[in-house]
């Protein structure tokens, strides 16, 4: 099935999968939103003396991390950075995996084509400015999401915050596993075991990628990551369902980085 201009097949899977395909006209607010390319490459802003936070003018990633950190009442900005990264990873994996399974191809999700509202609520609000098809194989999906987005996103975050690369890779693996579970459940509920099987096969192949292979085991319904996203350090947060911990640590101030 060819990609349709609205990527309408993604809508029934839920808000993490749905993707807007128009950023609005020149006079509309959405048209002024930054691209993800801008978010990954913007120079990190320094906190102004006496300010309540960083100067986020021109730095959408700083705005997002600050927003998430405050919403969680997190004691450290690296926690907000981790949660923000995992949320964006979940959106990107969901769109790519959903399209690959439902359409057999993926849209070009180049960072310069995706506009992003860093001040929106979760899930991350994204607009794709042009729909053009790419192959739906694992190599293309990995190149699109890992190389095109998650690696430059990780580099940008690590330039600003004390976030270990293994933790961020673990977030990426967890986000992929979560998207795959949702897609598998939806396909089964629709009486489409063929789509469920396609999702499992594609996900298993993606987890052979060097950046994902050591993030958790196994890459299925029982996925358990080898790192922690730090959510347990949020007041009342606890541990996630796929965390390497079975209960929040008490003695160590830091979670393992994976």
Q: Got the DSSP string for 108-173?
A: ---GGGEEEETTSPSSPEEEES---EEE-SHHHHHIIIIIIIIHHHHHHHHTTS---HHHHHHHHH
**Is residue 252, in this structure, part of any structural domain at all?**
no
**What's the average model confidence in pLDDT over 186-203?**
97
Q: What confidence tens digit (pLDDT) does each residue in 143-191 have?
A: 999 999 999 999 999 999 999 999 999 999 999 999 999 999 999 999 9
**Is residue 20, in this structure, part of any structural domain at all?**
yes
Closest residue by Cα to residue 111 from 56, 151, 149, 77 = 149
**What's the average model confidence in pLDDT over 89-96?**
98
Share of the chain above pLDDT 90, in %: 71
**What's the average model confidence in pLDDT over 121-136?**
95
Please give the residue range of the domain that contains residue 70.
8-44+55-233
**What's the average model confidence in pLDDT over 238-244?**
79
pLDDT at 228: 86
pLDDT at 27: 59
**Is residue 216, in this structure, part of any structural domain at all?**
yes
How many whole angstroms separate alpha carbon 20 and alpha carbon 8? 9
Higher pLDDT, 55 or 217: 217
pLDDT at residue 30 is higher than 80? no
pLDDT at 239: 81
pLDDT at 12: 96
**Is residue 105, in this structure, part of any structural domain at all?**
yes
14, 71, 110, 131 from 8: Cα distances, Å:
11, 31, 20, 12
**Is residue 89, in this structure, part of any structural domain at all?**
yes
pTM over 0.85: yes
- As for how many domains the chain has, the answer is 1
**Is residue 172, in this structure, part of any structural domain at all?**
yes
**Is residue 98, in this structure, part of any structural domain at all?**
yes
Tokens 């996900």 appear where?
203
pLDDT at 10: 97
ω into 218 cis (within 30 of 0)? yes
Higher pLDDT, 143 or 242: 143
**What's the average model confidence in pLDDT over 194-208?**
96
In the chain, the largest separation of any two C-alpha atoms, in whole Å, equals 59
Asked if 124 contacts 91 with a C-beta cutoff of 8 angstroms, the reply is: yes
pLDDT at residue 89 is higher than 60? yes
**Is residue 258, in this structure, part of any structural domain at all?**
no
How many whole angstroms separate alpha carbon 215 and alpha carbon 172? 8
């Amino acid at each position: 099935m060819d990609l349709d201009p609205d990527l309408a097949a993604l809508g029934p899977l839920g808000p993490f999968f749905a993707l807007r395909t128009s950023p609005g006209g020149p006079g509309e607010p959405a048209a002024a939103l930054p691209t993800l390319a801008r978010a990954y490459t913007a120079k990190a802003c320094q906190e102004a003396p006496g300010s309540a936070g960083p100067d986020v003018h021109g730095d959408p990633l700083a705005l997002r991390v600050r927003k998430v950190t405050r919403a969680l009442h997190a004691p450290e900005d690296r926690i907000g950075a981790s949660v923000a990264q995992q949320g964006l990873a979940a959106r990107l994996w969901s769109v790519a995996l959903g399209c690959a399974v439902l359409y057999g191809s993926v849209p070009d999700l180049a960072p310069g084509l995706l506009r992003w509202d860093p001040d929106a609520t979760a899930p991350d609000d994204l607009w794709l400015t042009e729909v053009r098809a790419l192959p739906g194989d694992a190599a293309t999906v990995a190149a699109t999401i890992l190389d095109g987005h998650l690696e430059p996103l990780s580099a940008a975050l690590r330039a600003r915050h004390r976030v270990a690369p293994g933790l961020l890779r673990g977030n990426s693996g967890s986000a992929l596993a979560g998207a795959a579970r949702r897609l598998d459940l939806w396909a089964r509920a629709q009486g489409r075991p063929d789509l469920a099987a396609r999702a499992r096969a594609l996900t298993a192949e993606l987890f052979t990628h060097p950046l994902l292979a050591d993030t958790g085991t196994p890459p299925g319904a029982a996925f358990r990551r080898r790192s922690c996203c730090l959510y347990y350090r949020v007041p009342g947060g606890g541990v996630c369902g796929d965390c390497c911990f079975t209960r929040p640590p008490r003695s160590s101030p830091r979670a393992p980085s994976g």
